[in-house]
Amino acid sequence: MRKHSLALVALATIGLAASQASAADLPRKAPAYVPPAPPPVTWTGCYIGGNVGGIFGRRSADFAFGSLDSDNNSGFAGGGQIGCDYQFAGGWVLGIRDMFDGSSLSRQRTFSLPGAAGTVDFKNSWFDTLTGRIGYSFTPAWLWYFQGGAAWAKNSADLTIAGFDVGSADRTRTGWTVGGGVEWMFAPHWSAFLEGNYMDLGSTNRNIVTPNVVACAAGCSFSTKATATTILVGVNYRFNLGKAPY
């Protein structure tokens, strides 16, 4: 009886060891995959893009006999921009940008001289602005900003008297600009903006002497001044940025 009991215990021990060995050979279930957290949204990086919109200008020409204004003048503007931003802690963003746009802004005004009539054709062919900007990201994907800096523009004022083209004040003007807007990062690496800007391009003096017109035989001097406002929408492709939340 004792030998029978010992045999049963031995068989049970052998069976338990075999079951444990079989369990050890079974494949283990892999741990569940936990994807890494998406990178935070940041405005740090450089970008390139395009823009379109309207330009609204005011040009004036001051003569000895009076002044001519080309107010309420509007046209199309469109071009491209390139820049870089850096975001600090707390949502503040500093950046620099250069924008170059072509323009269809033009206007013609007429005037009268003693014994003759004339016209002045005002035109703005293009403008370029180099600005620094400061902004605040009030949510991860939205940025309010203010900007200001230098502005250049190709302006001309062509003077015609009694049918004769007597000259023009045609030059690249240098001035200043201020403005601001809002930008939205709507997809990874892509943002869109809406902004308004004001440009003051200073004044240009010109003296014209022409024997074809009695009034200008001894010289006609005039000074032109130009200012402009732009309303622009645009899209930027941004490098090395995080993904925007959806």
Using one digit for the tens of pLDDT, what is the confidence trace for 74-129?
899 999 999 999 998 789 999 999 999 999 987 777 766 666 677 777 788 899 99
For residues 171-194, give the mean pLDDT. 94
Helix/strand/coil (H, E, C) string of 17-31? HHHHHHHHHCCCCCC
Q: Domain 42-66+73-238, what architecture? A: Beta Barrel (2.40)
DSSP assignment letter at 214: G
- 104 touches 89 (CB < 8 A): no
Q: How many CB atoms lie within 10 A of CB 163?
A: 11
Q: Three-state SS for 241? A: coil
H or E element, residue 16? helix 2-25
CA 232 to chain centre: 8
Spatial distance between the Cα atoms of 91 and 198, rounded to a whole number of angstroms? 26
* pTM assigned to the model: 0.72
* Confidence (pLDDT) at 28: 62
Q: Domain-by-domain residue ranges, the chain? A: 42-66+73-238
Per-residue pLDDT tens for 28-57? Answer: 666 666 666 555 668 999 999 999 999 998
Burial of 206 (0-12, 13-18, 19+ CB in 10 A): middle
